[in-house]
Amino acid sequence: MSQPLRVAILGAGMIGEVHRRAVLLAGAELVGVMASSQARSKEVADAWGVPQAYDDVEQAAASDADVVHICTPNASHVPFAIALMKAGKHVICEKPLGISLADAEEAAAVAAETGLVNTIPFAYRFHPMAREMRARVQDAEFGAVNLVHGSYLQDWMLNPRSTSWRVDAKAGGPSRAFGDIGSHWCDLAEWVTGDRIASLVATTSISIPQRPAATAASFSAVESDAPLIDVTTEDSACILFRTAGGVAGSAVISQLSAGRKNRLWLEVDGAHRSAVFDQEYGEQLWIGADAGATVHFRDPNHGSADQRRLSLLPAGHAQGYAQCFENFVNDSYAAVRAHAHGEAGPEGLPTFADGARAAAICDAMLTSASDGRWVDVKE
């Protein structure tokens, strides 16, 4: 085995832990960590058995790490990413890529200039069966795409006492449900079809007008008893769109659909076949045809090359979300190793350009919801 990559993680909350886990499994060497304070950085470094505890991003930028994972609060994503890339670090940055389109575009521009590896975890691309869907949708046998539709539904914000920093536009940016999960849906839809959303019309809803001020972590279902503040970001958003290729589409995004935990559902209807990927049943792919529907299972022994490559377990032994994330980090690291040899990394990695793309779609969505008209997505 070649020398392991040297890796640092900025941010030691729940999501930092998820990254650490993937770092370990990827066989990389975790050399440094930065947490919410100097004292906390030292504590975490000790707990994780990591040599370097950074006081600030500058120390991380000056370290001997090859790759830095950014898992800090959203507002810091872009400044940290830029500082690190300017110091020559490859960067894996958590979603979203900043809290404005301008931010995201700047990060993407710096990434393009430096030529360093830059990825963001649109992790659902790493479900083997999402790869299978992409291979099949882009295959001639599928036929031209006629329609793209689906939804991404959760219920963790259904309780009026649930909250997150994103309920307040000033704190977390002007979009919540769409920015948080709609972005995943759009990324997957564009990536699977190889087509882009060119224009859209949207409507958004705030069903719960006040919520507790944010103090708890995302995904926590703990009811907050903090004082109420006005909610200024959407609980749900619906969009219609047209792609550059002229295809119509529709998506429903909601964080208050009772009983829906993480239902990212994408259907693509083509001239000969249809395809459905449902993230909650991510071990399978539904392919519809006139004479019946076929359910393909994730399987290292069957299907498209990339699906097989990312299938780490025998069929019937579910991989799950954590292994999507591992696949994402493995491929990011493979890109870093390829970069060292001037080679291209694995196909299909979500980059800062994709992060900027998500921001552009979100911007158009907000403009349309506000103005009540079709809006072009900035290219």
Name residues contacting its own copies, limited to 104-143 (CB under 8 A). Answer: none
- The angle subtended at Cα 167 by Cα 164 and Cα 173, nearest 5°, is 105
Q: Is 280 in the site for its own copies (CB under 8 A)?
A: yes
CB of 363 to its own copies, least distance (A): 18
Residue 367 is a binding residue for its own copies (CB under 8 A): no
Please report the sign of the dihedral spanned by the C-alpha atoms of residue 308, residue 310, residue 313, residue 319.
Answer: negative
Choose, by CB under 8 A, the member of 128, 172, 182, 249 that binds its own copies: 249
Per-residue x/- track, 43-82, its own copies (CB under 8 A): ---xx-x---------------------------------
Put the strands of the sheet holding 67-70 in their side by side order: 52-53, 29-34, 6-10, 67-70, 90-93, 118-119
The rounded distance, in Å, linking the Cα atoms of 182 and 264 is: 9
Least spacing, CB of residue 145 vs its own copies, in Å: 9
Minimum distance, C-beta of residue 370 to its own copies, in the bound complex (Å): 13
Structure tokens at 377: 């997505």
Residue whose C-alpha is closest to residue 205's, from 168, 166, 177, 245:
177
287 binds its own copies (CB under 8 A): yes
Task: State how far the Cα of 40 lies from the Cα of 12, in Å rounded to an integer.
Answer: 9
156 Cβ contact partners less than 8 Å away, ≥ 6 residues apart: 162, 219, 221, 255, 261
# of chain residues touching its own copies (CB under 8 A):
91
Rule CB under 8 A: choose which of 83, 256, 266, 349 binds its own copies.
Answer: 256
In the complex with its own copies, which residue's Cβ is closer, 308 or 339? 308
Which stretch in 78-86, 185-193, 345-353, 369-377 sits in contact with its own copies by CB under 8 A?
369-377
Closest CB 265 distance from its own copies, rounded Å: 11
Q: Angle, to 10 degrees, between the axis of helix 14-25 and the axis of helix 320-340?
A: 60
Identified binder of its own copies from the candidate list 299, 306, 331, 363, rule CB under 8 A: 299
- What CA–CA distance (Å, rounded) separates 176 from 199? 20
Amino acid identity of residue 68, one-letter, is V
Contact positions with its own copies (CB under 8 A) in 205-234: 205, 207, 219, 221
Please state the closest distance from residue 157 (CB atom) to its own copies, in A: 11
Please tell me whether residue 349 binds its own copies under the rule CB under 8 A. no
Does 42 engage in binding with its own copies (CB under 8 A)? no
Give the shortest CB-313-to-its own copies separation in angstroms. 6
Residue 146 neighbours by CB under 8 Å, 6+ apart: 247, 269, 270, 271
Of 62 and 271, the one with the shorter C-beta distance to its own copies is 271
Note whether 196 binds its own copies by CB under 8 A. Answer: no
Q: How far is CA 226 from CA 162, 229, 351, in A?
A: 10, 9, 37
Among 39, 230, 320, 343, binds its own copies (CB under 8 A): 320
Q: Which C-beta is closer to its own copies: that of 299 or that of 331?
A: 299
- The owner of tokens 């040599």 is 51
CA separation for the pair 44, 12 (Å, rounded): 7
The DSSP call for residue 259 is T
Q: Is position 318 an interface residue for its own copies (rule: CB under 8 A)?
A: yes
* 3-class DSSP state of 15: helix
Closest distance to its own copies from the beta carbon of 28 (Å): 11
User: Does position 316 bind its own copies by CB under 8 A?
Assistant: yes
* Binder of its own copies out of 41, 63, 151, 175 (CB under 8 A): 151
Residue 2 engages its own copies in binding (rule: CB under 8 A): no
Query: In this structure, what are the phi and psi dihedrals at residue 183, rounded to the nearest 5 degrees?
Result: -60, -40
Residue 107's alpha-carbon distances to 69, 103, 149, 240, in angstroms, are 15, 6, 30, 28
Q: Which of 170, 292, 305, 341 binds its own copies (CB under 8 A)?
A: 292
Query: Does 235 help bind its own copies (rule: CB under 8 A)?
Result: yes
Q: Which of 103, 155, 180, 306 binds its own copies (CB under 8 A)?
A: 155
